[in-house]
Structures are given as structure tokens and as C-alpha cells.
Structure 1
């Protein structure tokens, strides 16, 4: 896909795991990127982006912007034709106040970015990074659909501030984006809804849900078993590719599930065992549901979560992204191996043997 805009493209949340790859691909195409970070003094967090810019023909300009500051994105957005809004809090567990830490920043951040879009007459398209979490709340929801397979027509109606607050933050932010898009007619909106993202990161400072899972695999937390939970997975480079296509293809529209395939935690462990052998304490069995229920509160999950998510197959239909965006999905089993190897190389997982 060749360069299709002379105007700068704004990417919010530039230090994120997926955002790094999006910015890299844009710079490789010779485009000008305006990228927002939370703090310009934390140069370590975005040094990798500056290094990428130096090697490519595209230009990178960094701006400081806080999601909760109403006018923070105005300056960075000046002259942009496309806005890729990727900044969002990522905390699936380990938060004290879900409304303050997750839900408000996700909704208000989206609102603040889109209000800036409404004030910036050059913007024609907005791409919002949403999540498959916008399409369902718990795995049990998939029992209501054919073949336990969700597509873009489904919305998460079962999450709330009290139950699955991270999932709720995603669906609430995406609904806010659609509500604001419908209220005007100058810019169009495309939402990218990725599965759990795996694959190499451009910086060792990455925080993501997949890093947490792989760390637990490497540390032995899951040695004696894992709950029977399905995770839809996708390679980070495919997610970045989807963002570029969503931004630059004139016919891109609506929502796009970006997912390669679903694996259980045990299947993920087996993929890693096949490659790394028995050096690491990868899970070798499923833990019975009643046992998972007993320990759930001690590992940051409610018993309700276990009841509604353990044992229910969960799959996603990504045909729309293949047909309309031309995504050619990588094999996520290879991505898992690459990702785990990188965590070893970066010292996040202790090297063994």
C-alpha cells in the first residue's frame, strides 16, 4: 500500500505496544507522523521511535498530551487529515478504583480527542483502537451465537464498572466514539477491534496483557495447571497493518475484528513447550473449575468471573478484515514463541538452561 496522504497523521498513545509498530510502518512509507506521549521528559519511553524515524524517510514530531486534559490534542492535530487514537489505559487486574483508573480515562480520553477532531477542519478520518472486549463481556456470552463465534455485529452488554471493568471501559469508549461520529458529517470513523496481541515488541518497556500471561508461564505460577480459558490471539504486526489499512483505504468502514485464532491457555503452554522443551515450567494440565473458583480471589479474579469464563469456547470471525482490509494473518503460534524469546532476551523472563 503506497503513501496516500500528504498531510501528517496523528497517533495518540505513541509509546504503546501496537502504536510502535503503527508508527514504524507509517514512517517506512515516508509519511509524517505527529505522535503524542504523556511526558516528553521520559525520553526512554519513546527513544525507540526516534531511532526508527532516523532510519526512515518519514518524519516524526512528538507532542505531549494527557488523555484527561480537554485541549491537550489540539496542537498535535493541526494540519492532520487522519487521527489514529490508540491511547487508553490498560489494566485488566491490579486496579483499586476502576472508574477513576480505567473507565473515565477511556471515555473522557476518547471524548477529548474527538472534540479536538471536531475543532480541526483538516481531519477526514479517525481510527480508534478498540478491542474484541467491545463485542462480548464473558466467554459464556458466546454460547448464544452460532459456533461460539462472534463477529462485528455483536456488542458487549454484560460488563459494568463492577464486573469486567476493563471490558466495560473498551465498549463504553467505542460507543462514545460512534455517538460522536454520528453527530457530525465531516469525518468518518473506523474501529479496529484486536484480540489478545502477541509477538515482538519494539521496546522492552512494553506493558500488555500477553506479557503478563507469558511472564506467569515463565515464572512457574501456572506450573500446576491453568484454567480452561480460550484466548483469541493476533500478531502485533497484523494489528498495526490493520490500523494502516483502516486509516488509508478509502473503502474501510465500520468495525473490524482483528484475530488470527483462539487457543486455550494450556494449548499456548504446549506451543511453548514444543519449542523451549522442559526448561521452563509451562502449564501441562487444566485446573478443575471448582479449584480455580477457590483460589480466584487470591489471584485477582472474582468467583463470578470464573463461573462465566472458564470452560466456554470462544472464537471470532475475522473474515471482514481479510476481505475488506486484505489482512493476511501470521501464524500466532510462531508469534508466541518469538514473544517469549524476546522476554527472555530482555531479561523479563529469567533465562534457564
Structure 2
């Protein structure tokens, strides 16, 4: 597919201070684009200071207050933009808000409001949504097991019960991301004159510009961290998908920008570079980092026979630069930087 020119654009990144959002903002600024980044609280100097200290931020970055629980607040940030990256998502329900009963209602309302803001702007060509492979399980609807492969046609069947002990938060997150992504992709794009792209990303690992361990890195690394709670989430992912799709933060950012750079693009694309079991992750650290002791109860399990069958993004010309080894090593380096290991 032919790419657009490499001219500088004005783009909006919702959730600009999160793990992916902050890395994406930094990379967009480095490439010369003007970035409108949204934060829930402009008085949070730790987040504001992080973004304002990026190279080129003094001339190329504008910060806007916007909260998923007040979705109309995104409108000013979107005005005048060429592309919008919708990264923000509610992780836990805001009990102080009576507007939505749960995170799913909040996420769907935000998608609806942001689409309308893009259309009203008259300038936004494409909305690129950050989805998750948790919405793309290859489980069969009848509960009889997995399909042979996992690709863009797979949708997590929300009527099934995943019989693995994990927090209600993880299950609610899976539901909200699945339903909001379906809502987004069901818009009649030709009618609203807006291209809509969804990038369903694997579990993201690697380094971070943040001063703390991102939640997705903790979820990928519970075995070396000896973190039983995060380990439950990792096992849930395997139970949901057969194996755990993983991807490096740099590849995720580049995939978002790649989707922006195409002359015309819409639809759903899965984004992951490897597909591992919890046992394979533990085995890697046991083999290459014997100094890290992994408790027996976190040693992992073999997964199902489902394979990674998605090639849509690669068929367009996108290349993942980080394999499983690099993802795990960079994630470990992130933990060391945070003082978890010597």
C-alpha cells in the first residue's frame, strides 16, 4: 500500500501520560509532528513535567484536560488535527460519577464522542484506536475449545466464563475493550467520511519513559518479580487466548505511526511479534538468568495448540523489529532500572 508523504502533521493522542501514550507522544515529537496530548489532570506536575521535558515539546506539544468520564472534553484537543490516536481507556470504574454504571459504558461513550468530534473537526482523516488482543480470543462460541488460529476475524465471546481465578478488573477490562472496539468498527465510515483503524495490540513489554513499572510490563514479568497477583492476570491471558501474544513498546508506537502514514487505511489489525506460553516465559529466565529465582507456583503452564494467524499488518509492509528475546530482555532492564534487580 502506498504511503502518504512524510510531511509533518498535527495529531491528537488521548491518554498522553500513560505507558503507550507517553512513548507515542515522544516518538511523534521526534518525527517532527505537532501533538495535542490529553491528560485527566493538568495539575499533576509529574505527568505534565514528563511530557513537557520531551525534545521539541516547547514548540510542538499542546496539553489538554480531558477525561473519559467527561467525553465531550476531548473536542478541543481534536480540533485542527489531521489524525487522532485514541489510546485512553478507563481501567477502573469512577464510582464518583453517576453517568456510567461501569467501565464498558464509559469506554463506549468515549468512542462515540471522539468519533463525533473527529467528524465535526472537518480536518481529521483517520481515527486510530488502540485495542487489545484480549478482545480477539480464538475461543469458540460454544465453549468447546479454541479455533486453530487467532486472527482479525476472532472476537472474544463475552458470554463464556473463563474459569481462571483473576480479578473482576481484568474481566471488566476485557469486556469494555471488546465492546468499545466493536462499536468503533461498526460506524458507517463512508457516511461519516472518517477512516477508522483498530490496532489490537498484544501484551506490551520493553522499557518506559515513566518513573514506575507500567502495568502491562508487570503483567508480562510476574515470574521474575515473584508477583502472584500479576501472575493471575498473565495466566488469565493464556486461558483466554491459548498463549500470550507479546509485543515491544517501540513496535507498538511504530505500528500506530505506520497506520497514520498510509494513504488510505481502515479496519482491524492485530499487532504482536511473538506468541508464548507462561511456561516458555519462565523457562527463558531459568535458562538465561539463573540468578533470578522463580517460585515453583509461578513456573507456568503449557498452552493450547492455537497459533498466531494474523498477517494483515505485515502484508501492508510493517515489520516488527523486536522478537521474544528482545522484549523479555528490555522488560527485565526496565525492572532493573526501577531497582527490582541488580
TM-score, scaled to structure 2: 0.81
Tell me the alpha carbon deviations over residues 120-148 of structure 1, each in whole angstroms, 9 at most, x when there is no partner. Answer: 111111101111122227599794423xx
Pairs within 5 Å for 1:202-351: 202-215=209-222, 217-219=224-226, 221=228, 229=238, 230-281=243-294, 311-347=303-339, 349=340, 351=341
- State the secondary structure of the residue aligned to 1:53: coil
Pairs within 5 Å for 1:135-146: 135-136=136-137, 143-146=145-148
Contact 1:266 1:284 in 2 (8 A): no
- Partners of 2:68 and 2:245 in 1: how far apart? 28
Q: In structure 2, do the counterparts of structure 1 residues 259 and 283 end up closer, same or farther at CA, with 3 Å as the change threshold?
A: farther
Match of 1:115 in 2: 116
Q: In structure 2, do the counterparts of structure 1 residues 139 and 237 end up closer, same or farther at CA, with 3 Å as the change threshold?
A: farther
CA RMSD in angstroms comes to 3.3
Match of 1:67 in 2: 68
- Partners of 2:52 and 2:210 in 1: how far apart? 12
Contact 1:139 1:314 in 2 (8 A): no
Contact 2:11 2:34 in 1 (8 A): yes
Contact 1:190 1:254 in 2 (8 A): yes
Match of 2:95 in 1: none
Contact 2:15 2:87 in 1 (8 A): yes
Contact 1:142 1:313 in 2 (8 A): no
Match of 2:165 in 1: none
- Partners of 1:68 and 1:115 in 2: how far apart? 16
- State the secondary structure of the residue aligned to 1:103: helix
Pairs within 5 Å for 1:49-88: 49-54=51-56, 59-88=60-89
User: Which runs of no fewer than 5 residues in structure 2 stay unpaired?
Assistant: 93-99, 162-167
Tell me the alpha carbon deviations over residues 217-245 of structure 1, each in whole angstroms, 9 at most, x when there is no partner. Answer: 323649x9996932111111111111001
Contact 2:23 2:209 in 1 (8 A): yes
- Partners of 1:212 and 1:50 in 2: how far apart? 28
- Mean CA deviation greater in 325-334 or 120-129: 325-334
1:25 deviates by 1.9
Match of 1:307 in 2: none
Pairs within 5 Å for 1:191-202: 191-202=198-209
TM-score, scaled to structure 1: 0.79
Contact 1:67 1:105 in 2 (8 A): yes
Number of residue pairs the alignment of both structures matches: 319
Residues 1:104 and 2:105 aligned together: yes
- Partners of 1:68 and 1:181 in 2: how far apart? 25
- Partners of 2:202 and 2:305 in 1: how far apart? 15
- Partners of 2:335 and 2:140 in 1: how far apart? 28
1:269 deviates by 1.4
User: Which runs of no fewer than 5 residues in structure 1 stay unpaired?
Assistant: 92-98, 289-309
- Mean CA deviation greater in 206-215 or 68-77: 206-215
- State the secondary structure of the residue aligned to 2:173: helix
1:82 deviates by 0.6
- State the secondary structure of the residue aligned to 2:187: helix
Match of 1:11 in 2: 13
Contact 1:195 1:258 in 2 (8 A): yes
Match of 1:299 in 2: none
Contact 1:270 1:282 in 2 (8 A): no
